[in-house]
Amino acid sequence: MYVVVDLGADPAAVSLVEPSDCTRFHLAVRGPSDPVALGRVLAATESGWLNEQGAAFVSIGALRRLSVGRVQPGWDTAFQTMIDWAASKGWTNPEGTAIQAHVAWESEAQGAGVDF
């Protein structure tokens, strides 16, 4: 699964692609390479945030919300396995409410991803 943030849309949009694939995760950004705008969109849509170092964190609740009606039975188990694996690598926030995501700007986004 991966999250797409379309900074070129009006208004900017956040979507979840391939929600059933819990073996990879990243954040693809379409539009201008603008971390400030990305942070604003993530916050405004309650999808996540950028930390002080510029790392992207995507809300686990937002991922669940964006997957509703789009995944098969058993997805919760696969999703939790993905979150647990990311946590074991230090790729979640301390509260366990968000997962860190590699940001692939439009020029990098094709075929990008982190395999779990």
Q: How far apart are CA 24 and CA 37, in angstroms?
A: 25
- Using the predicted structure, report yes or no on whether residue 63 has a pLDDT greater than 90: yes
Q: Is the pLDDT of residue 116 over 80?
A: no
- Average of per-residue pLDDT across 47-52: 96
- First-to-last alpha carbon distance for the chain, in angstroms, is 11
Q: Check if the beta carbon of residue 20 is closer than 8 Å to that of residue 72.
A: yes
**Phi, psi dihedrals of residue 83, rounded to the nearest 5°:** -65, -45
Q: Which of the 8 DSSP states describes residue 97?
A: S
CB atoms near residue 80 (< 10 Å)? 12
Q: pTM here?
A: 0.89
Closest by CA to 81, choosing from 24, 22, 27, 2, is 22
What is the distance between the alpha carbons of residues 6 and 36, in angstroms, rounded to a whole number? Answer: 14
